[in-house]
Amino acid sequence: MIPHKRHGMVNKKIKPFRLITYFSLSSLIIIFIGTFALSFINSHLIRSILLEKNEEYALLLAENLNHQVFLQFILPVTLKYGKVQLRNPEQFERLDKVIRSTLHSFKIDHVNIYDLNNIISYSFDPTLVGEENIGGTGYSQALAGKVSSNFVQKGKFMEILFGKPKESKMITYAPFRVEKPLEGLSGKILGVVEIVQDTTDDITMVFHIQKRIIIACSAIMTALFIFLLFVVKRGENIIDRQNAERLNLKEELSQAQHLSSLGEMTAGISHEIRNPLGIIISSAALLKKKISKSDPDNRIPHIILEEAERLNRIITDFLNFAKPSPPAMIRCNINEIIEKNLALLKTEMDQNGFVIKKELEETLPPTMADPDMLYQAFLNIIINAMQAMPGGGEIIVKTFFSQPSHITLSFEDEGAGISESFKDKIWDPFFTTKEKGTGLGLGMVKNIVESHNGAIDIVNKPEKGVKVTIRIPCQNPDDK
């Protein structure tokens, strides 16, 4: 005999709905794509704002430079020399001093001033003075009176893609005009000023902001992902549990329908057999009585009567299993029922070398139960233990009160135990390993125990033999 498992559940494996697998992969990908997309959008927005501010900053510088050069260089030089000639070292040096002093506190990398013929008249880099036609589109637009800016980045493709170029510059072209006193820059265009700002530090700052955004978003999204993962995992466990319960209910319903049909068939057949069987038993009894007088040694009537009565007991078992009656609950003592079982079997036990070891709790409280049903259940268990030890052996019977309010019984034998191949069949009706038997004994025991709201468990002992444990709720007779 072995531990009870639900019929039909061993060979079926529940395949759970793996929602969490799909959720984990898809959500993880989406979260990180969303994180990077969000960071790039934010960094692009910050960069755009920064470049716009740099462009406004360059325009203000160009206006201020135009104002200072016109007031501090063009007017004084024109009055002193009659005209501006930057080839004159003194004039060039004076212009350089005015421009550098004007831009001294500003982050300007380079300044070029073009004349109306697209020739560089002044530059921070003296080697560029005199170069022609290098102003490009920005020069042409400035000559037409429009300010334009161009953002230039240098570095590897991946560096530029991820927003961390080795070098970045903002190049602004603005018209250089004649300044009318008190009227701002609205006069004739004299040339074009090119202002180059080094924005590498600013772009690097944006890159670090972008990195912080990615880290922050990743941390938030990861925390959210873990939370959602927990929720989905819990949901999946609920689905798995519901699937298992649904399958169990389906198995139990199928088994109940099967047993119901089997019970109806068995009951019908048993009734049909019992009628002629009754005639056979009564006829065999009369025949035995007559023959015993004339031929005492003739055992044929005795064999017929014995086998007919055995067949009657089998039919009775079929009927009891097919249509079990509800227990008639009365006040009874479990120990007294056990003693009654052992008294019935004492002669057979003594003759076949069985030793009963009783450990019955004397203070076991009485309970409400059906003593006849429990007597039949305990008797079947003890007989099974005896049949497991053909050569005799020790049978241990224990009773004790267990919390919160249960009476526990155990029956132990020293037999060979139950084969693993029979592990899932012991509760099946009509299954037996004995040459003689109906296979209904354990099924009837289980039905009786469960009709008392109890539970039965059968396990192989570590050394040898089998242990049967029954737990029955203890009901106080005074509450009835």
Q: Looking at the structure, tell me whether residues 24 and 167 fall in a common domain.
A: yes
User: Is the preceding omega at residue 366 within 30 degrees of 0, hence cis?
Assistant: no
Is residue 434 over pLDDT 60?
no
What SS3 class is residue 52? helix
Tell whether 40 and 181 lie within a shared domain: yes
When mean pLDDT is compared across 81-85, 390-394, 418-422, the lowest value belongs to 418-422
Q: What is the pLDDT of residue 3?
A: 41
Kindly state whether residue 179 falls inside one of the protein's structural domains.
Answer: yes
pLDDT at position 116 over 90: no
- Residue 15: which pLDDT band, with cuts at 50, 70 and 90? very low
**Residue 71 resides in a domain:** yes
pLDDT per residue as tens digits for the range 379-392: 888 988 898 888 88
Domain range enclosing 420: 327-479
Q: Is a pLDDT exceeding 80 seen at residue 143? A: yes
- Whether residue 390 lies inside any domain: the answer is yes
Domain CATH for 395: 3.30.565.10
Q: Is residue 355 a part of any domain in this protein?
A: yes
Contact 363, 399 (CB under 8 A): no
Confidence band of 396 (pLDDT split at 50, 70, 90) = very high
What's the DSSP call for residue 260?
H
Q: Report the CATH number that the domain containing residue 181 is assigned in CATH.
A: 3.30.450.20
Of 167, 195, 212, which closes a domain? Answer: 212
Q: How many domains does the chain have?
A: 2
Q: What is the pLDDT of residue 336?
A: 93
pLDDT value at 87 more than 90: no
Cα–Cα separations (whole angstroms), residue 57 to 101, 164, 206, 447: 17, 22, 18, 93
Residues 292, 284: Cα–Cα separation, whole Å: 12
Average confidence (pLDDT) over 324-335:
86
Phi-psi region of 439 (alpha: psi -120 to 50; beta: other; left: phi over 0): left
- Out of 212, 232, 258, a domain closes at 212
Domain co-membership, 208 together with 342: no
Provide, rounded to the nearest whole percent, the portion of the chain with pLDDT above 70: 80
Statement: residue 44 has pLDDT above 80: no
23-37, 174-188, 400-414: segment of lowest average pLDDT: 174-188
255 occurs within a structural domain = no
Question: Mean pLDDT for the chain?
Answer: 78
Assess if residue 439 is contained within a domain: yes
Helix 300-322 to helix 200-294 angle (10° resolution) is: 150
**Calpha distance 362→399 (Å, rounded):** 9
Residue 305 inside a domain? The answer is: no
In a domain, 106, yes or no: yes
Say how far apart CA 167 and CA 199 lie, in whole Å: 8
Chain segment 443-473, per-residue pLDDT in tens: 778 888 888 888 888 888 888 888 989 999 9
CA dist list (Å): 149 to 45, 62, 290, 365: 18, 12, 134, 100
User: Would the pLDDT of 248 be above 90?
Assistant: no
Q: Are residues 34 and 166 in the same domain?
A: yes
337 versus 259: which is more confidently predicted? 337
One domain, residues 35 and 182: yes
According to the 3-state scheme, what is the secondary structure of 461-473? CCCCCEEEEEEEE
Examine the pLDDT at 191 and tell me if it is beyond 60.
yes
Side-chain half-sphere CA neighbours of 428 within 13 A: 11
The residue type found at 31 is I
For the chain, the 3-state helix, strand and coil shares in percent, each to the nearest 5, are 55, 20, 25
In the listed set 196, 212, 228, which residue is the last one of a domain according to the structure?
212
Q: What confidence tier does 399 reach under pLDDT thresholds 50, 70, 90? A: very high
339 and 204 fall within a common domain: no
Q: What is the DSSP letter of 327?
A: P
